[in-house]
Amino acid sequence: MDGAPTSPRAETLCHQLPGPWKLGLSLAVIVSGLVTPVAFWPVYGVLGTLVFIGHTLAAIPLAYLARRMAIFLPLLLMLSISLPAVEGFRRGGDIMAAILLRGSLSFLTVLWLIRVLPFDQLLQTLIGFRVPVLLVAMLAFMHRYALLLWSELRRMRVARSARTFDRADRQFRWRTSAQMIGMLLIRAMSRAERVHQAMCARGWDGQFRQYERPREADQMPMRATD
Amino acid sequence: MHVSDGILSVPVAGVAALASATAVAISLRQLRDRVADRIVPFTGMMAALIFAGQMVNFPLFGTLVSGHLMGGVLAAVVLGPYAGCLALTLVLLVQCLLFADGGLMALGVNVLHMAVVGSMGGYAVYAVGRRVLGGGPRAALAAAIAASWLSVMAAAALFCLEFRLSWPGADYDFSKIFTLMTTLHSAIGVGEAVITGVVVSFVLRQRPDLIASDTANTASDISVRVLAAGVVVALAVAAFLAPFASPHPDGLEAVSQHADFESLAREQPATALADYEFPSLVPRWRSVPGWQMVSVSLAGILGTLSVLCLALLLGRALARASSSDASVE
């Protein structure tokens, strides 16, 4: 799974924007694309240029975008082609083109957002937008354990093919896949229970306190040693 | 399948986002009193599990495509409706904001489909079904299986409605697309139902305490639940009535056009759409105008009923197998 960017935090102009700006800019581009009347093609060109500039400023490699688009475009194409297809390809081309353009534009915009908005900054932005702390806490918890569970599932898959000599018939795979999810569920819930008990043992009372990122002034003593 | 941006119009996406935000706010409010409870780690963990579980691909029968678990009813069965809704919302949030799976504007739409209809609506069907069937583990299993299929169909019907509303100026014939969508999602729904059934039976066997108990005590709770379940079932059934959604004002004209189209299509190799028809037992029935529409809906309604029966039988079989396995383990 190479979805989550694992490279060290880059420091381009786009990365340094405040979180709400990044979110706001992305939404603005997406909404502009969506409210544009279907046949106003130049607007899509302008938005596409903006998105391209954004990607360039954020130093996002083209290969990364191409890989993602290669997965995304066929699915969008399948849906967008359905309208002209039922009309025998006599009409509907403009709607198909609109869906394709808008979908691709917003997909590329979200890819930009993903690269420039790290997860912790996303959480802080959400708190800044008055999203209930309960939801943000659950989100943080999920992020922590999603990758853990995913690798545990991957290990289960390896164990399955090792113990069953990679048996490939469909019924077997269905049954064992579902059993793996069930096993993972039980393990995950037991772990969640232990985590909750550990939190309570350390004095958690249901309040969520926000950790503030250390500001420049606080880092001065460390810099003095450079 | 997550809806991406560009497919639905801004007003439709906006209304859906409002509805989802309301549902999420209600869920948060309901859970507010349980903050010190284990609900936070449980919901987060469930979201993480569904996120991981959605990566497991199940090869669909007869096709080269594979499907994956949606997890709405699974989350609701273990956590209850409100936490289940939140868990799915978290999954969709992360998928959108970390993996670009599903559009940003369409996030509200996806949450509406999967967290609200899929999880909360699915829970309503599950809870009502469980109560109707007696309340034991077998009832829970059968109800969960039925609820999974129905919630997938209901979400598909809702998407068809949103798609139709998004392109109002166009007088295209949406009914064929809706038929295809419905057929596809019936297959996906069966996969979801089977996976949910096996996982729930596994959990019932190993850790029955993890399954949330019935919490509706007052009459108003129960009536809200029955109402929600009714809406979900109505949507699911409506999915099969979608072929009637013809834009043409004259019903007979539209039907005769469809009949002509179908006779042309018959010369081609059999497609999924051609098979999606109730076989006319009496040849003379086929000449009745409107037969094609009626047959598709009949097929749909019979399909709904047969899946429900299948769910009951499967639930009994799995529960019986689990009770015999338990003695071995």
pLDDT in tens, B43-85: 999 999 998 888 777 666 655 556 678 889 999 999 989 999 9
What pLDDT was estimated at residue B92?
Answer: 92
- Chain B interface, mutation test: which of A26, A113, A189, most B Cβ atoms within 10 Å? A189
Q: Which CATH class is domain B10-328?
A: mainly alpha
More confident residue, B31 or B317: B31
Q: What percent of chain B has pLDDT over 70?
A: 66
pLDDT in tens, B283-306: 555 555 555 556 666 666 666 666
* Nearest chain B Cα distance for residue A103, angstroms: 5
Task: Look up the ipTM and state it.
Answer: 0.79
CB-CB under 8 Å, B69 with A138: no
More confident residue, B216 or B41: B41
What pLDDT was estimated at residue B84?
Answer: 93
- Chain A interface, mutation test: which of B29, B95, B98, most A Cβ atoms within 10 Å? B98
The answer to whether residue A3 neighbours chain B at the CB level (below 8 Å) is yes
A positions 6-45 inside 8 Å of B (CB):
26-27, 30-31, 33-35
CB-CB under 8 Å, A95 with B167: yes
Distance of CA A5 to the CA centre of its chain: 10
Average pLDDT for residues B236-255, to the nearest whole number? 58
More confident residue, B22 or A6: B22
Name the residue facing A76 among B4, B28, B96 (closest C-beta).
B4
Chain A residues near residue B99 by CB distance under 8 angstroms: 3-4, 114
Kindly list the distances between the CA atom of residue B42 and the CA atoms of A193, B92, B116, B216, in Å, as whole numbers in the listed order.
7, 17, 19, 21
The answer to whether residue A149 neighbours chain B at the CB level (below 8 Å) is yes
In three-state secondary structure terms, B68 is strand
Give me the residue spans of the domains in chain B.
10-328
Q: How far apart are CA B243 and CA B176, in angstroms?
A: 7
pLDDT in tens, B94-148: 888 888 888 888 899 999 999 999 999 999 999 999 888 888 888 899 999 999 9
pLDDT band of B320, cuts 50, 70, 90: low
Kindly list the distances between the CA atom of residue B204 and the CA atoms of A155, A176, B140, in Å, as whole numbers in the listed order.
24, 17, 9
The answer to whether residue A73 neighbours chain B at the CB level (below 8 Å) is no
The answer to whether residue A180 neighbours chain B at the CB level (below 8 Å) is yes
Name the residue facing B55 among A111, A150, A175 (closest C-beta).
A150
The answer to whether residue A142 neighbours chain B at the CB level (below 8 Å) is yes
Q: Does residue B279 carry a pLDDT above 90?
A: no
Q: Does residue B324 carry a pLDDT above 80?
A: no
Nearest CA to B170 out of A87, A92, A37 is that of: A92
What pLDDT was estimated at residue B323?
Answer: 58
What sign has the CA pseudo-torsion B24, B97, B35, B52?
positive
What pLDDT was estimated at residue B275?
Answer: 43
More confident residue, B88 or B242: B88
CB-CB under 8 Å, A188 with B48: yes
Name the residue facing A34 among B6, B24, B170 (closest C-beta).
B6
- Pick the range with the lowest mean pLDDT from A93-102, B23-32, B273-282: B273-282
* Nearest chain A Cα distance for residue B302, angstroms: 26
Which portions of chain A are predicted below pLDDT 50? 1-6, 220, 222-226
Chain A residues near residue B207 by CB distance under 8 angstroms: 186, 189
Name the residue facing B176 among A3, A30, A86 (closest C-beta).
A86
Kindly list the distances between the CA atom of residue B292 and the CA atoms of A178, B257, B278, in Å, as whole numbers in the listed order.
38, 11, 8
Tokens of B264: 């042309």
Which alpha helices (DSSP H) does chain B contain, by range?
10-31, 39-53, 72-79, 81-99, 107-110, 122-132, 137-166, 175-206, 219-241, 251-265, 272-275, 291-328
Chain B residues near residue A170 by CB distance under 8 angstroms: 59, 61
pLDDT band of B328, cuts 50, 70, 90: very low
How many residue pairs from chains A and B have C-beta atoms closer than 8 A? 230
